């Protein structure tokens, strides 16, 4: 099978109004691994069955697996870039690793579709896994994050998304797969909203209303935009973000679920190092004065053919 014949998972699924992120750990015993592999084989069919109820709902599901369980689940060497989540920073400003072996990223226009599919998957998985984190995300007005700025502006366009997100000849055994890194951030909204719009714009590096990047003369080197923009050989390196706001106003919880897809974890990890450690060290992302990472995980998203073969 050539790379052109490989079917990736729905990494570049159309932007939707709703999403559900679920992280689980794998239970002990071979029966747990068997059950997960069975669900891998059933996944496409479950998505079709739920999605056909609302054909315009754009239901999709991506499943990824962590380094700690790869060989146990699939009995093969793991993808060359897969490893435990790398932590960056220290103290209150830290990108920390948290438990997680399996990631489910479910997207649809309506939360009922996400909810139904997630409920079916959890039922099928049974006691083979333990869900350790679950977040229901929503699209906030005109593609904005909870802090009021447009999110995902610098995502690759349709013509470039595969080039930046899908593994190619560098790891032919896993061509068509993708790496995905997730983090859950909680925001200090009282502190953020106490800032002037101009102060917020300098922290982000873009204008708030029009979403225009600040010019070089007025954009601080510690802005979020400055530290998450990467170049190599004069060309910008991009990742595919599909971040979602979430929250519980009654509990005072306001957050962003960061999810980034790439053909290698290296660019996302470089962004995190720039943000949490600083470039140079100490010149960290000032957004982290108001945003705290509380989870972190790295997973590999194998192509559809791999999932189907794992279930056989």
Catalytic residue set = 151
What is the Cα–Cα distance from 121 to 109, expressed in whole angstroms?
A: 19
In a 10 Å sphere around its CB, with 0-12 CB exposed, 13-18 middle and 19+ buried, how is residue 124 labelled? Answer: middle
Residue with tokens 């007025």: 218
| CB of 13 closer than 8 Å to CB of 107 | yes
Residue whose C-alpha is closest to residue 107's, from 243, 303, 288: 243
Sign of the torsion formed by the C-alpha atoms of 156, 192, 110 and 178: positive
Neighbours of 97 (CB within 10 A): 15
Residue with tokens 């998304």: 161
Give every CB contact of residue 75 below 8 A, 6+ residues apart in sequence.
none
Return the SS3 of 146.
coil
Query: What are the C-alpha distances in Å from 116 to residues 61, 110, 145, 226?
Result: 12, 10, 25, 40
Neighbours of 25 (CB within 10 A): 17
């Amino acid at each position: 099978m050539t790379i052109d014949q490989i079917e990736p998972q729905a990494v570049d699924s159309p932007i939707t109004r709703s999403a559900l992120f679920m992280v689980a750990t794998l239970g002990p015993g071979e029966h747990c691994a068997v059950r997960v592999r069975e669900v891998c084989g059933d996944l496409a069919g479950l998505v079709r069955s739920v999605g056909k109820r609302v054909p315009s709902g754009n239901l999709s599901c991506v499943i990824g697996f962590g380094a700690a369980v790869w060989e146990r689940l699939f009995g093969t060497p793991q993808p060359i870039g897969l490893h435990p989540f790398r932590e960056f920073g220290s103290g209150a400003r830290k990108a920390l690793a948290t438990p997680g072996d399996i990631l489910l990223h479910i997207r649809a226009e309506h939360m009922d579709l996400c909810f139904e599919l997630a409920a079916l998957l959890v039922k099928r998985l049974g006691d083979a896994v333990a869900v350790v984190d679950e977040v229901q995300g929503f699209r906030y007005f005109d593609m904005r994050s909870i802090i009021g700025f447009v999110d995902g502006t610098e995502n690759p366009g349709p013509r470039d998304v595969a080039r930046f997100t899908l593994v190619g000849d560098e790891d032919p055994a896993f061509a068509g797969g993708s790496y995905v890194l997730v983090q859950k951030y909680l925001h200090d909204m009282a502190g953020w909203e106490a800032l002037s719009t101009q102060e917020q714009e300098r922290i982000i590096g873009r204008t708030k209303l029009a979403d225009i990047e600040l010019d070089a003369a007025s954009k601080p080197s510690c802005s979020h935009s400055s530290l998450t923009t990467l170049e190599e050989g004069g060309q910008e390196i991009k990742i595919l973000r599909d971040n979602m706001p979430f929250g519980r106003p009654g509990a005072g919880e306001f957050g962003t679920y960061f999810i980034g897809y790439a053909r290698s974890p290296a660019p996302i990890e470089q962004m995190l190092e720039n943000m949490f450690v600083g470039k140079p060290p100490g010149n960290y992302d000032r957004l982290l004065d108001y945003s705290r990472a509380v989870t972190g995980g790295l997973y590999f998203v194998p192509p559809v053919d791999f999932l189907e073969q794992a279930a056989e």
